[in-house]
Amino acid sequence: MKIKSADFVISNTDVAKCPNEPLPEYAFIGRSNVGKSSLINMLTERKSLAKTSGRPGKTQLINHFKINGNWFLVDLPGYGYAKVSKKDKRTFQKYITNYFLQRSQLVCSFVLVDIRHEPQKIDLEFIQWLGENAIPFSIVFTKADKLKPKAIEKNVARYITELLEGIWEEAPHHFVTSSSKGMGRDELLTFIDGVNDAFFKNLKQ
């Protein structure tokens, strides 16, 4: 897929105020600093479509971008930043939960995970919650340039094994990416293209 246009549409904290065009939508979420903004900018070939954050935890909004006029990319706030107050955390959880449970055109959520780290509780719990609520997702490993190929393989296998020991019977779909090297870009965009085709075919039926 070529990215011909990538336009900011709206930011808010209320799923009811998200755009109501019936377009397929992909949400990007992960721990603060996981490399989400960099990945979004890499995918869209825009330098600062998503703001790379010097101040994690500050962008507490649901941000909609329209890509090529026919799908939405949604930049969700990073979770798990220690300096956000308890009250902020609860508010965050409420509107993010509402977003995932109510956004009917959400066709896939990309859960970003730093490939260097051991599986983290907060990510595993979130992935489990998505599964329990039948919300489709893929795992996107980030910062793969920081590891050698063997270590990438090993860490991906470790992560998948951890999930299979939980509620998962099948390994979730996953991508290995590096924003600084453009790695995984074609795979992600080809995947999105395929899901978009299926979405529009379904609409016509």
**Is residue 63 at the binding interface for ligand GDP, with CB under 6 A as the rule?**
no
For residues 36 and 39, what is the distance between their CA atoms, to the nearest angstrom?
5
Q: Does 117 bind ligand GDP (CB under 6 A)?
A: no
From the CB of 180, what's the least distance to ligand GDP, in Å? 4
- Between CA 63 and CA 9 the distance in angstroms is 8
Angle at 29 (CA atoms; ends 24, 30), nearest 5 degrees: 160
Residue 87: exposure state from Cβ atoms within 10 A (0-12, 13-18, ≥19): exposed
Task: Give the range of 50-58, 90-98, 115-123, 126-134 binding ligand GDP by CB under 6 A.
Answer: 50-58
The two structure tokens encoding residue 2: 């070529």
Element (H, E) at 163: helix 149-165
State the Cα–Cα distance between residues 127 and 151, nearest whole angstrom. 23
56 binds ligand GDP (CB under 6 A): yes
Asked if 83 interacts with ligand GDP (CB under 6 A), we say no
Q: Rule CB under 6 A: say whether 53 interacts with ligand GDP.
A: yes
Check if the beta carbon of residue 56 is closer than 8 Å to that of residue 32: yes
In a 10 Å sphere around its CB, with 0-12 CB exposed, 13-18 middle and 19+ buried, how is residue 54 labelled? Answer: exposed
Q: Which residue in the set 133, 161, 180, 190 belongs to the binding site for ligand GDP (CB under 6 A)?
A: 180
36 binds ligand GDP (CB under 6 A): yes
With respect to ligand GDP, which residue has the nearer C-beta, 116 or 172?
Answer: 116
Q: How far is the CB of 79 from ligand GDP (least distance, A)?
A: 10
Other CB atoms within 10 Å distance of the CB of residue 114: 18
Q: Does 128 bind ligand GDP (CB under 6 A)?
A: no
**Stretch 5-34: interaction string toward ligand GDP, x if CB under 6 A:** ---------------------------xxx
Binding site for ligand GDP (CB under 6 A): 32-38, 52-53, 56, 78, 142-143, 145-146, 178-180
